[in-house]
A and B are shown apart, each in its own frame.
Chain A
Amino acid sequence: MRMLVALLALALSAPVLAQSALPPAPYADRQIADPALEKKARALMETIRCLTCQSQSIADSNASMAGDMRSQIRERIMAGEEPEHIRAWLIERYGDWVSYEPTAEPILWPLWAAPLILLGLGLLLLRGRIKRRRRA
C-alpha cells in the first residue's frame, strides 16, 4: 500500500519537471511593503494576460513566467513607473492581446460607442411611447 502511494505520488510529480526548478523571482509572490503601491501593481497584474495559460491573468496563474512578470511589474512600480506605461511596454511586445483592458484602437470604437447608441435608441423608443400615450 505504501509503495503504491509512493508510486502514485511520483507519477503525479512528473508535470513539475515541465517547469523550472529555480525559486521564483523575488517579488513573484511577495507583496510590496507600501500598500498603495501594492494596490497599483495588483490592479495592473489582474489585467495582464498570462502567456503560458492564456485564459488567466498573471495575478491568477502559477506558471513560472507569470511569476517573473509579477515580479517585474512590482519592481517597476516600486521604481516609480506608472502602470499604464508598463502596460504599453507589454503591448509593444505582445500586442493588444496581452491586456484584458480594451484599448482605444479604431477597431474597438463600436465597442465604446455601443452603450451610447443603445441608450439613444432606448430614449427614442420611450419618446415615441410617451407621445402615443398622450394622444390616446
Chain B
Amino acid sequence: MRKMLIWLPLALFLGFFGLFASGLLRPDDRIISSKLVGKPLPAFALPAAASDRPPLASSQLATGKPRLLNIFASWCVPCAAEAPQLLALKQAGVEIDAIAIRDARPDVDAFLQRYGNPYSRIGLDARSEVQIAMGSSGVPESFIIDGKGRIAYQHVGDIREDDVPMILDRLRKAQ
C-alpha cells in the first residue's frame, strides 16, 4: 500500500499535465453560441429602424412558417458583405426580418439604399437589449425561427455564399 502511495504525486502530476496540455492544444474557439437555441424567442416589441419598413415584435415571428431573423447594424462591415447573400435568400422566397443594433434611422436608410433591402420588418434595438435577451453576442448574426416562434438555429457571423444552401435546407427542416 505504502509503495503504491509513493507514485500518487507522479500520477497526479501526469494527470494535470495531460489536462492542461489538452486545453492548450485545443484550437481556440471564440464563437459564442446562444443557449436559447431550441427554446422560444424572448418576447419583445421594437420601434421601426428604417423609414419604409414596419417595426418588429416577437409575436409577428410565430406565423406557422419558418423565417430568418437577421441581426445587423449599418456600422458593421461584415454586414455589408453579407447583404448579397440575404438578397439571394429573399429571391429564393425566404421571409427575412431584422433587428438593427445600436443604430439610427438615417444610417439604416443609407445602408439599405446602398446594399439593398431584403427585409420585411426591421426593429431598432438601440441598447442591445433584445440582442442580449436572445443570447446573441455580435453583428451580424442570423436566427432561424420556426413556425411556433422557437429558435431553431443560430448562425454566428456573416452568411457566406456557400452557407446559402445550408440555410435554405435548415429553413425547410424548421417547418
Contact = CB atoms under 8 A, between A and B. Distances in A.
A92 B36 CA distance: 8
Given A17-B75, A54-B30, A93-B35, A68 B132 contact: yes
Interface string A40-71: 00000000000110100000000011001101
A18 interface: yes
A93 to B, nearest CB: 4
Interface in A1-44: 17-22, 25
- Majority DSSP secondary structure for residues of B touching A: loop
Interface string B111-142: 00000000000000011110111110110000
Interface in A56-114: 64-65, 68-69, 71-72, 90-95, 97
Nearest to B134: A93
Contacts of B32: 51, 54, 94, 97
B110 interface: no
Contacts of B36: 92-93
A95 B107 CA distance: 33
A105 to B, nearest CB: 14
A64 B137 contact: no
Interface in B64-114: 73, 75-77, 101-104, 107
Given A51-B137, A93-B133, A25 B127 contact: yes
B24 to A, nearest CB: 16
Contacts of B133: 93
Contact of A69 (B77, B101, B132): B132
Contact of B137 (A25, A65, A72): A65
A72 B127 contact: yes
A68 B102 contact: yes
A94 B137 contact: yes
Given A22-B126, A68-B127, A94 B35 contact: yes
Contacts of A52: 137-138
B10 to A, nearest CB: 15
B71 to A, nearest CB: 12
A18 B135 CA distance: 21
7 contacts: A22-B104, A51-B137, A64-B102, A65-B131, A71-B127, A94-B34, A94-B135
Interface of B: 30, 32, 34-36, 73, 75-77, 101-104, 107, 126-129, 131-135, 137-138
Interface of A: 17-22, 25, 51-52, 54, 64-65, 68-69, 71-72, 90-95, 97
For the complex of A and B, 8 pairs with smallest distance between CB atoms: A93-B135, A20-B102, A51-B137, A68-B128, A25-B127, A22-B102, A68-B127, A95-B35
Given A19-B75, A54-B32, A93-B135, 7 more contacts: A21-B104, A65-B137, A68-B128, A69-B132, A90-B132, A93-B34, A94-B137
